[in-house]
């Protein structure tokens, strides 16, 4: 009897131990998968962002008004690219990968060729109309005739951009992400910078900027075609008739979702140009790209969170999902909260260092003198921080095929942003646009938070978040007072020193508040393996504070 009582307990304990051990192994494996795969994506994003900011600084230095005209033209061409692509980019990814998985290369080739023909024809027709009516659009919609030649030249980029995106979608379907990185993130951006500098040096001004932009698209297209034909998949060969209706049914809803996302991304710029001036557009587009740095880290994790999540659901390992989600969202919170604090602390220095003093012009709103660009940067960053923090949550609905929830959220926020812009921009200018976009992103994050809690019973927050918050508050306060004691002649050097001080204090505060967990060490192990850099001392320190 004694034997029978004791051993079941022992067996139960042993089974529990084994189950827990397997659970931790699966969690560690999932974290490693995302951390490893994020390497090339994160490198690509970092390089792209660095090159993009160098390019934007070059363009912005031409003049505020010229930068505003460029931003308007870019907004127009970006919107038309979404329309003429007909959502076929994602359709190509889905159907080409499906047919390749079934070894039906002829059908995959048919999807790529037909998509190129459809989007190429549509973009060419729209580009022709844009060239013909560029004068009317510039005068009657944007109230600036200087925009005519800019829109006409930008129109040439439309078919180049749309065709390039279809080719890159085909490359993605074969999971050859590195070629997308080379052609779009590196070669295209370097070409923009070099050609723009050359044309500005030759005296072409803002027209040279636009010509350089279009020429860089052409170069990127040629490189993409080369990679597809020689490294990935040849379009030469036989084709097979497919059901194009299925492809279009799949793609057209994505077109509508893309339009809604464009409204979120560009409506503030377009409405500032309508209600205000191109100078205001230029000022606002100094703040917006900086605030969008908060998108960088969540995007890198989200890119691989979706396939990892899909695999876990397919293997019925749903118990791993919640702790994995907790770990990744905590890292987004940890990284982006520090970035947000830095923006709030040094918004004026950041704008001055990157764009120049002409972007620090004062204006009077409600009887008070303010610096609209730094203040817009802070306002935008607050809303984008929360919206991007909840970004991973949308992947749950993609896996569960509940895409209507995503479409609903996107539509509601786009309409809200549009209404707020119409009300606030005429009265408050770029500050009104910043408030509109910030509040819209906050509501988007709130919607995702409520939906994930209601439908999936997942809550991202725990005590570790409070500890991270305490750490960033300590770092913020100490850095603020230290920065008041340090004065340098050059803002760029001062910004670098103050930023380094903040990071050091923040890391120490995270250790003191014990904000790290065992899963965080697994991320460091993955980084160590991937880069070859020994992080043993850091891991040893972390273990003492867990």
276-307 pLDDT, tens per residue? 887 888 888 888 888 988 887 887 777 656 55
Instruction: List Cβ neighbours of 279 (8 Å cut-off, separation of 6 or more).
Output: 64, 65, 68
What is the maximum alpha-carbon separation in the chain? 97
Give the span between the Cα atoms of 224 and 218, in whole angstroms: 10
325-329 mean pLDDT: 80
- Per-residue pLDDT tens digits for 488-531: 545 667 778 888 899 999 988 988 888 777 666 655 555 445 44
Q: What is the pLDDT of residue 69?
A: 84
pLDDT at 5 over 50: no
SS3 213: helix
Give the span between the Cα atoms of 342 and 457, in whole angstroms: 33
166 to 86, 100, 243: CA distances (angstroms): 11, 17, 19
Give the span between the Cα atoms of 267 and 75, in whole angstroms: 9
Q: What is the pLDDT of residue 394?
A: 78
**Span of 276-290, 340-354, 411-425 with lowest mean pLDDT:** 276-290
Phi, psi values for residue 182, rounded to 5°? -65, -50
Dig out the tokens for 149 from the structure: 């030649």
Answer yes or no: are the C-beta atoms of 510 and 334 closer than 8 Å: yes
pLDDT at 402 over 80: no
Residue with more model confidence, 110 or 316: 110
275 to 267, 271, 281, 375: CA distances (angstroms): 12, 6, 10, 20
pLDDT at 140 over 60: yes
To the question of pTM greater than 0.75 for the whole model, the response is no
- Per-residue pLDDT tens digits for 446-455: 998 898 888 8
Q: What is the pLDDT of residue 336?
A: 92
Q: What is the pLDDT of residue 393?
A: 80
Answer yes or no: are the C-beta atoms of 283 and 428 closer than 8 Å: no
Residue with more model confidence, 86 or 434: 434
- Per-residue pLDDT tens digits for 19-59: 445 545 555 555 555 555 455 666 777 777 778 878 878 88
Instruction: Look at the alpha carbons of 384, 389, 395, 396 in this order and tell me if their dihedral is positive or negative.
Output: negative
Q: How many CB atoms lie within 10 A of CB 111?
A: 26
Question: What is the separation of C-alpha 51 from the centre of its chain, rounded to a whole number of angstroms?
Answer: 15
Q: What is the pLDDT of residue 439?
A: 95
Dig out the tokens for 23 from the structure: 């659970």
pLDDT at 467 over 70: yes
């Amino acid at each position: 009897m004694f034997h029978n009582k004791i051993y079941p307990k022992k067996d139960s304990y042993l089974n529990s131990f084994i189950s827990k051990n397997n659970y931790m192994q699966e969690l560690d494996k999932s974290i490693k998968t995302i951390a490893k795969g994020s390497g090339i994506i994160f490198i690509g994003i970092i390089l792209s962002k660095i090159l993009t900011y160098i390019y934007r600084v070059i363009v912005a230095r031409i003049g505020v008004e010229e930068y505003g005209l460029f931003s308007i033209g870019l907004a127009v061409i970006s919107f038309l690219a979404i329309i003429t692509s007909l959502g076929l980019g994602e359709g190509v990814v889905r159907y080409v990968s499906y047919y390749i998985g079934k070894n039906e290369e002829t059908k995959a080739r048919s999807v790529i060729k037909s998509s190129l023909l459809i989007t190429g024809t549509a973009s060419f027709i729209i580009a022709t109309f844009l060239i013909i009516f560029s004068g009317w659009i510039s005068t009657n919609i944007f109230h600036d005739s200087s925009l005519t030649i800019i829109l006409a030249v930008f129109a040439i980029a439309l078919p180049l951009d749309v065709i390039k995106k279809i080719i890159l979608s085909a490359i993605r379907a074969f999971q050859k992400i590195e070629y997308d990185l080379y052609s779009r993130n590196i070669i295209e951006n370097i070409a923009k910078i070099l050609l723009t500098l050359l044309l500005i040096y030759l005296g072409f001004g803002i027209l040279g900027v636009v010509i350089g932009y279009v020429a860089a698209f052409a170069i990127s297209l040629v490189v993409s075609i080369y990679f597809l034909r020689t490294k990935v998949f040849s379009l030469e060969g036989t084709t097979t008739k497919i059901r194009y209706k299925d492809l279009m049914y799949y793609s057209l809803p994505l077109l509508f979702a893309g339009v809604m996302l464009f409204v979120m991304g560009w409506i503030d710029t377009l409405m500032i140009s309508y209600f205000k001036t191109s100078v205001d557009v230029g000022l606002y587009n100094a703040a917006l790209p900086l605030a969008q740095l908060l998108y960088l880290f969540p995007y890198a994790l989200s890119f691989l969170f979706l396939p990892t999540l899909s695999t876990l659901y397919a293997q019925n390992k749903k118990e791993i999902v919640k702790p994995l989600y907790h770990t990744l969202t905590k890292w987004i919170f940890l990284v982006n909260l520090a970035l947000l604090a830095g923006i709030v602390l040094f918004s004026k220095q950041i704008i001055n260092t990157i764009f120049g003093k002409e972007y620090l012009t004062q204006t009077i709103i409600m009887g008070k003198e303010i610096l609209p660009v730094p203040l817009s940067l802070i306002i935008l960053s607050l809303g984008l921080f929360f919206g991007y923090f909840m970004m991973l949550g949308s992947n749950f609905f993609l896996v569960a095929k509940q895409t209507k929830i995503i479409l609903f959220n996107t539509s509601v926020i786009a309409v809200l942003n549009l209404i707020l812009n119409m009300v606030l921009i005429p009265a408050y200018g770029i500050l009104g646009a910043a408030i509109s976009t910030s509040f819209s992103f906050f509501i988007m994050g709130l919607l995702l938070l409520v939906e994930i809690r209601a439908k999936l019973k997942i809550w991202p927050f725990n005590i570790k978040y409070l500890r991270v918050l305490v750490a960033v508050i300590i770092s913020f306060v100490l850095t603020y007072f230290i920065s008041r004691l340090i004065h340098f002649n050059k803002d760029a050097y001062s910004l670098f020193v103050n930023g380094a001080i903040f990071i050091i204090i923040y890391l120490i505060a995270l250790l003191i508040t014990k904000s790290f967990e065992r899963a965080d060490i697994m991320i460091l192990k993955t980084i160590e393996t991937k880069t070859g850099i020994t992080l043993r001392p850091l891991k040893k320190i972390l273990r003492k504070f867990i």
